[in-house]
Amino acid sequence: MGLNALSAKDSKISEDNNGSDLKSEIKSYILHHLEDSHDFNLMSYTDKKSGKKVYIGVPLPVILWDNGIKIFSSTKLNHGKTVVQSGSNYYKLYHGKVYQTDAKGTINFDEKNYPINYKPLDFSITKNVVSILFTAIIMLLLFKGLADSYRKNGMIAKGLGRFFEPLVLYVRDEIAIPNIGKKHYKRFMSYLLTLFFFIWFLNLLGLTPLGINVTGNIAITFALALITFIITNLSGKKTYWKHIFWMPGVPIPMKIILAPIELLGVIIKPFSLMIRLYANISAGHIVLMSLISLMFIFRNWLGSSLSFALAFSISIIEILVALLQAYIFTVLSALYFGFAVEEHDDHNHH
């Protein structure tokens, strides 16, 4: 009886450990999905004979600058499990970054457990870079075709352009003109259209099984917000800057107090753009991946079926969120441009 109880206890401990390992693996997989990577990883499985994990995906070129250009395929990195020799140097992938190491692949850490190995400049063509280039090509071909159909058919869109023409008109009539004004909106239309479709297409790519999370990368949202910030402040008229540093109709003591606050608002506006897009897209990916992971935790028809149904429902909602986030970013950018180019007469009119 004692042996049976001990056996049952060991079995329970083993089951708990397996469950803990599974949850840790799922958490690691979700975090890996959110990060950029040097390849398109489609799936992976553990080989029963060797016990090693086998990855199936599309490799991408790794381009490093380390006293000269080092180029090799990402398959050699083997997701951080092998060391790559290029010339006289050795490199290893650790948590998505390539570090210089020795032949054994040693990674040294500081007291806070951060790697202290030398990190060469990484100009690799990652999956985010490929996604951005793919989206840029799609947009170029799409809108060139739309422009050509306008020119050849007497300002009438043909083919796929018939679907995108109402969206272009919507950005013009419902976003640009109301927020910027008829006098100045044309100066910003090219950027607003590019911004809207660029974010929308990348958000849609993020819902594919390729594991793309471009707009959930804070570096990308920072770059988009920075462009909006630069255009806003370069376009700012005298009235715009006067309302920031020396507000008309406000007592002088209040002007002195409000000026730093208004100046801080100039920075907070693009910062909110950056965080909003990053947080919403990342949260959507985390929720969706977590629901899919529940199927592997429950391992029964009821729990797995409910998880699949929830994941499918959230996927439908994420399609709408993809469009909504593109719309919000574009509307707020247009609103900031409108503040910058607003003239004194426009202000009195409003």
In angstroms, the CA 27 to CA 29 distance is 5
Closest CA to 40 of 72, 71, 73, 65: 73
Cα end-to-end distance, the chain, whole Å: 86
pLDDT, residue 5, reads 38
| Beta pairing partners, 58 | 40
Closest CA to 89 of 62, 55, 59, 51: 62
pLDDT, residue 133, reads 94
| Beta pairing partners, 101 | 90
Q: Which helix (H) or strand (E) holds 211?
A: none
Say if residue 101 is exposed, middle or buried (CB neighbours under 10 Å; 0-12, 13-18, 19+): buried
Q: Rounded to 5 degrees, what angle do the CA atoms 146, 215, 284 make?
A: 115
| Beta pairing partners, 72 | 62
Q: Give the contacts of 151 (CB within 8 A, at least 6 positions apart).
A: none
Structure tokens at 337: 């441009």
> Between helices 127-152 and 161-170, what is the axis angle to 10°?
100
Strands 69-73 and 61-65: antiparallel
Matching residue, tokens 């951005």: 132
Helix (H, G, I), strand (E, B) or coil at 217: coil
- Sign of the dihedral through C-alpha 341, 164, 272, 219: negative
In angstroms, the CA 200 to CA 325 distance is 8
**In sequence order, what E strands does 123-232 have?**
none
User: How confident is the chain (350 residues) per 10-residue block, as mean pLDDT?
Assistant: 37 43 75 80 74 80 90 88 88 90 89 89 92 94 86 77 87 93 91 95 88 88 95 84 73 75 84 93 87 80 84 89 94 92 58
Helix (H, G, I), strand (E, B) or coil at 84: strand
Q: Is the pTM of this model over 0.85?
A: no
pLDDT, residue 344, reads 55
pLDDT, residue 16, reads 42
Helix (H, G, I), strand (E, B) or coil at 43: strand
157 within 8 A of 68, measured Cβ to Cβ = no
Domain definitions of the chain by residue range? 37-125, 128-349
pLDDT, residue 3, reads 35
Structure tokens at 172: 């013009």
Structure tokens at 143: 């809108």
Matching residue, tokens 């910062």: 271
pLDDT, residue 230, reads 94
